[in-house]
Structure 1
Amino acid sequence: MTDNNGPAEGAARIPRHVLLPLALAQFICSFAGSNMNVMINDISEDLDTTVQGVQTAITVFLLVMAALMIPCGKLTERYGRKRCFRAGLAVYGVGALLSAFAPGLGVLILGNSLLEGIGTALLIPPVYILTTLLFTEVTSRAKAFGAVMAMGGIGAAAGPLIGGLITTAISWRAAFVFQALIVTVILVMSRRVPDPLPPDPAASFDVRGAVLTAVGLIVLVMGILAVDDNGWLAAGLLAAGALVLLWFFRSARAMEAAGREPLLSTSLFHDRTSNLGLITQHVQWLVLMGVSFVTAAYLQVVRGYNAIETGLIFTAATVGLLASSLAAERFAKRRAQRTLIMAGFVLTVGGIVVLIAMAGGTASAWASAPGLFLIGVGLGVMLTPSVNIVQSSFADDDQGEISGLSRSVSNLGSSLGTAIAGTILVADPAHAYRAAMLTLAVLGLAGLVAAVLLPRGPAPNMATARPAGAS
């Protein structure tokens, strides 16, 4: 459905319930990225694989999302945001059902890592583009992004608990059936979601750029995963991935110089505020998924906890994130976005320090709860401001590109968090827990530095500075 009056006028008539399917979509995708963490032992035994095999499946899922997010964000211009959103839901649902009946690790990777990853890459950029276009007033957009990011954070934090409950009560396979059911509900609800801008079938698509970005990101993360097995191979892959990404940027510049449109405009990186916001997003999801995987693996493999026990311990993070997300609007009225992001990183790094201090010091795994609670509060405080800073730095015409870039950067963070911390942990689960957590704390401090460098004033609301379609 197209509103010919444009997003600014149509936003006033948009009912609130159109936000629900968008927020639910972010929830289920974030849930998928973390709920497998509590199924490590169950999947390993059922599919006759190892902890490293399950880690590979989780990492590949996150990596496919990161690699395809930019191209899929660009496809929304050609085929329409709502159409891409619904197509992504359909692909995701098929992948979830295939995963539920997987006879081995290979089919699980096909269903969960590839199909669910592709589906997520198709549906997530439209979530952020539609939120930006449908909610054009500053306050309503902040509330809309708050709802979407809160559902995403809760999905990631509550994934272990919900996954643990389902796995213990029924089976790990039922968790994928649960995902398919939620996706079906979203598909039905999404019929009433409007698309403010018509698709442009003539919109260009940089195939070479899409291939180069996907290959570069995949090879880069493969290099991190190979560190534990072969240092020389890992170094070669990391160098190759960096060179491919450099090739992409040089290709994009050459296309722009020739008057053609690349997959990703290099002008997106000319905004210092947006660049710093992207760094904070990347680090937030890196820390969240890294902590989730490392803590879940440690509790199950070293401490011997089952899926439900592990999930219950993660309730502390869920409660913290939910509490801070519900207060996000109040925080936004009283504090600048920069201040909130800085406070979020301080709380998150503090939570990691608590986890490190409590490791091995007590027989009760519930000693992890205070640290996880602090991490949840910290993430809930800063997720929404980081996204709003980036999205609001660009006009409507650029929302497809910046949404794809923003989600790609965030999902690359998720993938790197699982890959980096997981690689350290699986080498020696009994003794490497502190090292993995310390690595995440240092990376969290890097995010804090980026937050400190953000401008002190409020981010400009550039997304409504000029009408859609303006040059």
Structure 2
Amino acid sequence: MTDSSVSRPGITLAAVAVVQFLVSLDLSVVNVGLPQIAAGLGFSAVGLTWVIHAYALTFGGLLLLGGKAADRYGRKRVLLLGLGLFGLASLVGGFAQEPGHLVAARAAQGVGAAALAPAALALLAATFPTGKARVRAFGVWSAMNAAGGAFGVLIGGLLTEYASWRWVMFVNVPMAAVALALVWRGVVASPPPARRGRPDVAGAVLATAGMTLLVFGIVRTDQHAWTSTVTVTTLAAAMALLAAFVHVERTTGREPLIRLGLLANRSVAGANAYNLLVGAAMASAFYFMSLYLQRVLGNGPALTGVQFLPFALGVVAGSVLAVKLGYRLAPRTLLVGGGLLTATGFAWFSTISPDGAFATHVLGPSIVASVGFGLCLGPVVATATAGVAAHETGTASALLNSSRQIGASLGLAALGTAAHHRTGEPATPDALNDGYALGFALSAVLLVSAALVALTVPRRTSPPPQAEQAEQAERAERADGGDALPARN
């Protein structure tokens, strides 16, 4: 059963756009303030990455549970709950006095985002199931994603330099309040689908714990070698927890967090693998770009925010272009082309110099990479939710968000550690530049890999006919009874 909000597509699109703007704004606002956050609370160089990791891990690890809750309890209800928690965590984070306080607040933000993000995307997928309206709707969603980033870097820079880094957290509070009001008044709730069992909370705990240990093990390689007992033991424990998660999903008597047969859909599997690699590359590149502008070129936070604008606005332009091209080209074509174009921009970024300048070393690659990224955003979301039965759109949306966030966390951990090793001690501008250049080069490699993955996505990515959706629903019910069957491509 879909939400009755499908009869009010304009209001639903506006509500989802505001929610996505908020999530994107929060990510970019925090990035610009990282150096001042480190100085204000006493973070170490590697410890600072946990301001990003704490959010990404809880967001990515709990997204499947959030998506299942949206399908089970109603998308509007879960969306409102997520927005309330997100706003409260932002307020608490702004008052942080120690590194642990801020990391905990960021983790709580991730929990809220894990509820609101899949609920919002599920509303969008259900409201615009096919045709040109679907292409246009996901184009608006991706443009708002980029617009949040554009305003985030600018607002974050201005607030950090002229007020305090604490305002990069406080700014989310009024935004969350506005989004709450819009969703409350603009999205019409409907009775949730029939409940077939209790949600698999154990699976969510295992997934989050496993990913946390995995990233922790990678981050700690700055102190313990990859072959050391500490690193090997940590990574082995992480893999054991993730294997336990898969086992629980296959054997649980509760409603599985994710029906594993969903991944038999080539569109779903390909889009999520693509998103994992893109998330790893983009989170790392944003991190390196912010630090290069401030620590190597010596720019202040406000100027850094302004210099991020071409990148963010380029994503908006790429998103608009994706809408126009989406009427004539298959999503797979846009995914391949966008991935390669973004890889080209990051390869260009890897030529940065310690005595460089914004006009010669940042502006050009920012435009190339951002337009390519904009081309990817809408098509990957549309592809990941295509061919999915209506009662599983929340789960499919959560899976896509989860792959992006987990990719971001793993990518930042691995590439950040690699850059730190290249930098060494002392961290002079020349040494920092070498580390950041390596990070950009590795990001380009990840995006080339994503373009290759996109070739596995079938050209046909429209939702299945109503009869096939009914068959998929029947299979899901049988799976709940213990006979898991793979979904049809």
Instruction: Answer whether TM exceeds 0.5 for this pair.
Output: yes
Quote the Cα distance in structure 2 between the aligned partners of 1:340 and 1:132.
Answer: 19
Q: Deviations over 1:334-390 (max 9, x none)?
A: 211111011101110100111112434634565211111111101100111111111
- Alignment-mate amino acid for residue 424 of structure 1: A
Alignment map for 1:88-103 (pairs within 5 Å): 88-103=82-97
| 1:35 partnered with 2:39 | no
> Which residue, out of 61, 68, 78, partners 1:74?
68
| 1:224 to 1:328, Cα distance in 2 relative to 1, 3 A | same
Match of 1:447 in 2: 450
Quote the Cα distance in structure 2 between the aligned partners of 1:136 and 1:217.
Answer: 33
Contact residue 209 and residue 263 of structure 1 kept, 8 A:
yes
Match of 1:3 in 2: none
Q: Is the partner of 2:258 in helix, strand or coil?
A: coil
| 1:17 partnered with 2:11 | yes
Contact residue 37 and residue 297 of structure 1 kept, 8 A:
no
Contact residue 217 and residue 231 of structure 2 kept, 8 A:
yes
- Alignment-mate amino acid for residue 376 of structure 2: M
| 1:48 partnered with 2:45 | no
- Alignment-mate amino acid for residue 345 of structure 1: G
Shift of residue 56, structure 1, vs aligned partner: 1.3
Alignment map for 1:214-225 (pairs within 5 Å): 214-225=208-219
> Which residue, out of 101, 119, 126, partners 1:126?
119
Match of 2:156 in 1: 163
| 1:441 to 1:399, Cα distance in 2 relative to 1, 3 A | same
Match of 2:462 in 1: 460
Match of 2:146 in 1: 153
| 1:108 partnered with 2:102 | yes
- Alignment-mate amino acid for residue 460 of structure 2: P
Alignment map for 1:199-238 (pairs within 5 Å): 200=194, 203-231=197-225, 232=228, 233-238=230-235
User: Could you tell which deviates more after superposition, 93-102 or 25-34?
Assistant: 25-34
| 1:412 partnered with 2:414 | no
| 1:363 to 1:388, Cα distance in 2 relative to 1, 3 A | closer
Q: Is the partner of 2:33 in helix, strand or coil?
A: helix
Shift of residue 425, structure 1, vs aligned partner: 2.8
Alignment map for 1:55-454 (pairs within 5 Å): 55-111=49-105, 113-156=106-149, 158-191=151-184, 192-198=186-192, 200=194, 203-231=197-225, 232=228, 233-255=230-252, 261-360=255-354, 362-364=356-358, 367-427=361-421, 428=423, 429-454=432-457
Quote the Cα distance in structure 2 between the aligned partners of 1:467 and 1:197.
Answer: 19
Match of 2:482 in 1: none
Q: Is the partner of 1:223 in helix, strand or coil?
A: helix
Quote the Cα distance in structure 1 between the aligned partners of 2:235 and 2:330.
Answer: 37
User: Could you tell which deviates more after superposition, 374-383 or 140-149?
Assistant: 140-149
- Alignment-mate amino acid for residue 462 of structure 1: P
Match of 2:479 in 1: none
| 1:433 to 1:418, Cα distance in 2 relative to 1, 3 A | same
Q: Is the partner of 1:431 in helix, strand or coil?
A: helix
Quote the Cα distance in structure 2 between the aligned partners of 1:30 and 1:213.
Answer: 24
Q: Is the partner of 2:434 in helix, strand or coil?
A: coil
Contact residue 4 and residue 190 of structure 2 kept, 8 A:
no
- Alignment-mate amino acid for residue 241 of structure 2: V
- Alignment-mate amino acid for residue 234 of structure 2: L
User: Could you tell which deviates more after superposition, 27-36 or 368-377?
Assistant: 27-36
Quote the Cα distance in structure 2 between the aligned partners of 1:313 and 1:234.
Answer: 38
- Alignment-mate amino acid for residue 444 of structure 1: L
Contact residue 313 and residue 366 of structure 1 kept, 8 A:
no
Q: Is the partner of 1:49 in helix, strand or coil?
A: coil
Quote the Cα distance in structure 1 between the aligned partners of 2:165 and 2:244.
Answer: 42
Q: Is the partner of 1:466 in helix, strand or coil?
A: helix
Contact residue 129 and residue 463 of structure 2 kept, 8 A:
no
Q: Deviations over 1:269-299 (max 9, x none)?
A: 1122321111111122221111000111122
Quote the Cα distance in structure 1 between the aligned partners of 2:53 and 2:363.
Answer: 25
Shift of residue 138, structure 1, vs aligned partner: 2.7
Q: Is the partner of 1:362 in helix, strand or coil?
A: coil
Quote the Cα distance in structure 2 between the aligned partners of 1:381 and 1:183.
Answer: 28
TM-score (norm 2): 0.88
Q: Deviations over 1:78-126 (max 9, x none)?
A: 3221111101101111111111121221211122x22111110111110
Shift of residue 217, structure 1, vs aligned partner: 1.4
Contact residue 158 and residue 314 of structure 1 kept, 8 A:
no
User: Could you tell which deviates more after superposition, 146-155 or 21-30?
Assistant: 146-155
- Alignment-mate amino acid for residue 99 of structure 2: L
Contact residue 125 and residue 385 of structure 2 kept, 8 A:
yes
Q: Is the partner of 1:172 in helix, strand or coil?
A: coil
Aligned residues: 460
TM-score (norm 1): 0.91
Q: Deviations over 1:212-245 (max 9, x none)?
A: 1111111111122112111222333222222221
- Alignment-mate amino acid for residue 188 of structure 1: A
| 1:418 to 1:397, Cα distance in 2 relative to 1, 3 A | same
Shift of residue 463, structure 1, vs aligned partner: 7.8
* % same residue: 29
Contact residue 5 and residue 189 of structure 2 kept, 8 A:
no
Q: Is the partner of 2:469 in helix, strand or coil?
A: coil
Contact residue 268 and residue 383 of structure 2 kept, 8 A:
yes
| 1:36 to 1:240, Cα distance in 2 relative to 1, 3 A | same
Q: Is the partner of 1:171 in helix, strand or coil?
A: coil
| 1:463 to 1:408, Cα distance in 2 relative to 1, 3 A | farther
Structure 2: 5+ residue stretches without partners: 424-431, 475-489
| 1:50 to 1:458, Cα distance in 2 relative to 1, 3 A | same
